[in-house]
Amino acid sequence: MVRSPESPVLSISGLVKDVGPLPTLDGKMLRVVSGLSLVAERGQVTALLGANGAGKTTTIECAQGLQKRTHGSISLLGEDPDTAGAALRARVGVMLQDGGLPPSARPIPLLKHIAGMYQDPWPVGELIERLGIDTFSRTSVRRLSGGQKQRLALAAALVGNPEVLFLDEPSAGLDPQSRQLVFELISELRNRGMGIVLTTHLMDDAQRLADYVYIIDAGRNVAEGTVAQLLQHPLPPEAGEQHIRTLLFETDPGLDFTGVLPDGVNVTEARAGSYAATGALTAADLAAITAWWAARGIMPRSLSLEARSLEDVFLDISGREIR
Amino acid sequence: MTSDSAALGSAPPGSARPVSAAPDRSPGSAPAPLLRRIALQGKYETITMLRNGEQLILAVVLPLLAMVGLTVTPLLDGFGASRINVAVPGILALCAMSTAFTGQGISTGFDRRYGVLRFLSTTPLGRTGLIAGKVLAVLAVLALQVLVVTAVALLLGWQPDPLGWAPGLALLVLGAAAFTALGLLVAGTVRPEATLAITNLLWILLGALGGIVIPAERLPALLESIVHFLPSGALGQAMREAFLSGTVSPVPVLVLLLWTAIAGGAATRWFKWN
C-alpha cells in the first residue's frame, strides 16, 4: 500500500498531551502523549496499536477535539479540530470507547435523532439492517449486550456518512458473528473512500483490518508500516536469524529430540505430549523431524507451523514486561 | 464529496447478510442548519424529561401537593391576600427550580457519566447546541408545568393580577436561567451521584426554607436576611409581587441576574465534559 503524500484525512505532528495535576503524582502533571506523529489517508484503515494506557485514546480524542492538546499540531480534513465548527464535525464520525449513548434511549429513535443533525444522512433503515440492529430495536440501551451496544455506537458514528471515521477499540465486546459483520462493513467503507482511524490493543484486529499500523508505546511512536513491513521488522539480536518460526505438534509424551534438530532450534514440551520447536527452522529440519517420526512409527496428532506474528513484533518492540 | 471513491454496490463475498440497498453515495455530509439542530435536541430532551417518572413527580406532583397544602393550612395567612393568591406565584417559582435545577442537573450529570455529552459534542450539534437544547427543554417543560399549575390553581380560586402575567412569565424565565446555570455548574463538576444528592437536598431545603413558597417574612429572622439574596428567595418574592400587585422591584431581578451571570461563568469555566 502506497502512502500518498496528498491530502491525508488526518495528520498529527509532534503531539504532546499532559494531564493533571494528579494527586497521585504529588500534584504534578502526567505526560500521556509525548511527541507522537501520524498520518491517516483516505480509503485506508489506519490502526493505532498499543497496550492499554499507551496513549491511543488520548491521541484520537485530541484529533476529535474532545481533549485540548498541550503541544503539537493536528490537521483533520485540513482544519484544526480545536477551533472547528459544525461543518467539520458533520464530516467526521466518532465511536467512543464507552459508547456515549444515553441508557434510556431506544436504538431507532436515537439514530433518527442523530440523523436529524445532518443534511443528507445515511438512511437509518439501511444502517439498522446492515448492522443487524433490527433484532434489538425495541430494547433500551442499558439492556443491550456489549456487542449490541458496540454495533449501535458504530451506527451512530456512521449515520452522518462521514469522510473520516474514528473507532476506539471497535471489536471490544463483540461476539464472533458481530465481529465478522463489523469488520466486513469497515472494509467496505474503506473501499468506498472513507478514511478510518482505529485504536486497538488486539494484534488480530490490526492484522485483519489495517492498511497501515502505528505501534504506540508510552505515548510515542515506536514503529510504523504496513502489516507486511512490520512483520519484517528486525529482530532483537538475541533472536538470531530472521526466519524464526515455531513448529507445534502433539504426539507421545516424553520424547527426546536431542540430535534430531540443529543447535539453533529449541524443543520444549509445554504439556505432556504437546511440543513446540522454535528457531530458524528450515525445510531440511522439517524433513529431518518427520523422517525421525517415520523411523519410529510416530504419527503426530496435530502439526502446525507458525511464522512470526504481529504480536511477536509488538512484544519485541515494546518489551515483554507487564506494566 | 470525494469523486475518486468508487462506490461498491454489492456485499463482499461471504457477507453475513445481503446488502439490499447498499449506499452508493461517497462519504461526506453537511450539517443540518443550527436552529434545526437545537430544536431537535430540545425536542429530544423534552421527551426524555417527560418520560422520566421521578422527574414528573418532582416537576408536577410535588408542586401541586404543596399548593393544596398551602391553601388548607394557615401558613400563608396575614399577607393581605387569600392563601391561594399568595401560594401560586411561589409554586410556579418552585416549578422552575424543579425542572431547571434538579431535573436538568441530574440528567446532565448522568449524561456526562455515560459519555453522552462527549459523543453528542462530536456530532454537528456540538457543545453549544447541546446546552441550547437543554435550555429549550427546560423552557418547554416549564411551559407545561405553568399550564397544569395554572389550571389547577384557577379551579382552587386563584385570582392573579392581570398585569402580573407579563412580568411574572419573564421572571420565571430569568429564574429558570439562574437555576439552569446552577444545575449545570453542579452537574459539570461533581460525580452524578453527588449531583443527585445535592440538587435534591437543595430542592427540599430551598423549597421549605429558601423563601420560594413561604415568604421570607415568615421565616426565622436569621434566615430572612439571607433568603433575599438566594435565587429561590429572589424569584419567590418577585413572582408574588408580580402576581399580587402587577409590579416588579429591581432588587430581586438584580439578584437573579447576578446568580445567572456568576453560575453561568463558573459553569463555563469549570464544567468538565468527561
Alpha helices in chain B (DSSP H): 34-51, 53-56, 62-72, 83-96, 104-113, 116-122, 126-155, 165-189, 192-209, 221-227, 231-245, 250-270
Return mean pLDDT, chain A.
88
Q: Which residues pair with A92 in a beta bridge?
A: A164
Of B85, B236, B248, the closest CA to residue B159 belongs to B85
Does the distance separating the beta carbons of A86 and B34 come in below 8 Å? yes
User: Cβ of B51 under 8 Å from any chain A Cβ?
Assistant: yes
Work out the number of other CB atoms within 10 angstroms of the CB of residue A22. 11
pLDDT tier for residue B121 given thresholds of 50, 70 and 90: very high
Average pLDDT, chain B: 90
Grid cell digits, residue A276: 513446540
Amino acid letter for position A7: S
Q: Note whether B31 contacts A66, CB cutoff 8 Å.
A: no
Burial class (CB in 10 A: 0-12, 13-18, 19+), A27: exposed
Neighbour count for residue B130 (Cβ, 10 Å): 21
Q: Which residue has the higher pLDDT, A242 or B123?
A: B123
Mean pLDDT of B129-152: 96
> Given this model, what pLDDT does residue B17 score?
39
What pLDDT does residue B16 have?
40
Closest chain A residue to B273, measured at CA: A66
> If we measure between CA atoms, which residue out of A129, A135, A127 comes closest to residue A153?
A127
Q: Which residues of B touch A116 (CB under 8 A)?
A: 32, 36-37, 40
Query: Are B28 and A188 in contact (CB < 8 Å)?
Result: no
> In this model, does residue B18 exceed pLDDT 80?
no
How many angstroms away from the CA of B178 is the closest CA of chain A?
Answer: 26
Q: What is the pLDDT of residue A256?
A: 87
How would residue A235 be classed by pLDDT, with cut points 50, 70 and 90? low
Q: What is the pLDDT of residue B27?
A: 77
Which residues lie across from A198 on neighbouring strands?
A47, A167
Q: How far is B175 from chain A (nearest CA, A)?
A: 28
Report percent pLDDT > 70 for chain A.
92
Instruction: Return the exposure string of A298-314: e unless at least 16 CB atoms fall within 10 Å of the residue's CB, then b.
Output: eebeeeeeeebebebbb
Inter-chain CB proximity B30 and A90 less than 8 Å: yes
- For residue B2, list its beta bridge partners: none
Contact A72, A221 (CB under 8 A): no
The pLDDT score that the predictor gives to residue A237 is 55
Element (H, E) at A223: strand A220-225
Beta-carbon separation of A117 and B31 below 8 A: yes
Q: Is the ipTM of this structure higher than 0.90?
A: no
pLDDT tens-digit profile of B240-252? 999 999 999 999 9
Which range is least confidently modeled, A99-103, A119-123, A272-276, B199-203? A272-276
Report the chain A residue with the minimal C-alpha distance to residue B22. A126
Task: Determine, for residues A89 and B21 on separate chains, whether the beta-carbon distance falls below 8 Å.
Answer: no
Q: What average pLDDT does range A173-198 have in this prediction?
A: 92
> CA A43, CA A164: separation in Å to the nearest integer?
9
pLDDT in tens, A2-38: 555 558 999 999 999 999 888 888 888 899 999 999 9
The band of B24, judged by pLDDT with boundaries at 50, 70 and 90, is low
Minimal Cα distance from A154: which residue of B?
A: B119
Mean per-residue pLDDT for A73-88?
95
Which chain B residues have a beta carbon less than 8 Å from that of A91? 1, 28-29
